[in-house]
Every structure is written in structure tokens, then in C-alpha cells.
A and B are shown apart, each in its own frame.
Chain A
């Protein structure tokens, strides 16, 4: 199974900050990497697919990059509604696996 490791596990940031979350795969997954946002008590929401494609309706302050084993989710100018937990997920092979999550909290 491909292991997905996110860092950090949590971070504190202020509104307007630029936030970067990293996801590392245990083997190369090309660009088969997706990012989700989950708010408490809600279902996850797709933000970025195939590493860098922005899902329709998602604000442009979200961006993704990377290929191979190392990927990044960047949130430019953090907004109050962005405080949530973020997960990466590989779609290169089965079983599909998720990172452990990164919780973005208000500083």
C-alpha cells in the first residue's frame, strides 16, 4: 500500500496568512494526488485534483503543486472559512489512501 504522510499535523495561522501543507507519498504516484477540505461535522470537499487542477467553484487562493512523491497545497491569504482539516489522497493505485490530515487553526 502507498503511505501518504502530511506535514505538519496541525498549524496555527492568522487571517491573511499564506499557508503551505505538504504531502509525501511512499513511492512515486506521478500526479495522481487530490486534496480535500473537511470542516467539523461535514463531509470532505474536493479542492484540487491531479495535483494542480482547481475543482470548479473552489476559490483561486487554493493551489496545488508537485509530482512524483512530493506535493504541496497552498492557501494564499487565508480566510475565516478556510479553518478546517485538509487531506491529501493518492489515486495512483489501490487501495486508495489518504494522508492523516492537517488541521488549520486560528492563531
Chain B
């Protein structure tokens, strides 16, 4: 079955960087994109951007431009999201999701990775 498995929880200090991985299985990795969505504690869903696993093209949310980088490793069917210059308001659960470019849906989602930014 299609599955996305993310790396474990992280605790970082303000100003540091975090890199979250998302390993895909059960489908042809390069036929879809991977999108990243985050959810602050008790809050709604915030789209961060996507990457095409086919050609590496990316599209990032404007508010994260310059701080976020999304990459893929097609040899291992793994996507990565790196967020730099972390602030306390970056504390959130970070989800990866398979992205279908046509209709634009996210399915399925990874289990989520909690990133806590605290001094």
C-alpha cells in the first residue's frame, strides 16, 4: 500500500536548522510530487510548498522563501524538508504528503514529525 514514513521528533534551539525526511513506498515515486504541510499546536493546516519528484521543481510558500529547501533522493524514494533560522513560532507538527499535480490533492500523508523550537 502507498505509505509515507517520516523521521522522528526534533528539539532545536532558535536560529538552528532542522531537516525532516519522508520515505515513500508502494507507488512510483517520480510520478507524483511531495508536499509539506505544517500544523502548529491547536491550530489549522499551513501549506509550505511542494517538490516534483520527477524533475525537482519546487514551489514554496512566500512566507518561507529563503528559509526552506525541499529536495528528493529518487534512489531511495525519500523527500527532505530543511527549515533554517528556526523561531519559536516554527514549533509544529510537519507532515509530508504525496501530491497529485492535476487535481491538486494530498494523499496519503505521513505520520507527522513534531519539531519543537525552544531555548
Contact = CB atoms under 8 A, between A and B. Distances in A.
B45 A87 contact: yes
Interface in A75-107: 87, 89, 91-92, 94-101
Interface residues of B, number: 21
B95 interface: yes
A55 interface: yes
A19 interface: no
Interface stretch (A10-18, A42-50, A65-73): A42-50
Contact of B47 (A43, A55, A92, A95): A95
Name the residue in B47, B105, B106 with the highest tally of chain A Cβ atoms < 10 Å from its Cβ: B105
Interface string B76-115: 0000000000000000000101000001111111111000
A96 B105 CA distance: 10
Contact of A98 (B45, B59, B111): B45
Contacts of A34: 103-106
B119 interface: no
A59 B111 CA distance: 22
Interface of B: 35, 37, 44-47, 59, 61-62, 95, 97, 103-112
Interface of A: 32, 34, 36, 43-46, 49-50, 55, 87, 89, 91-92, 94-101
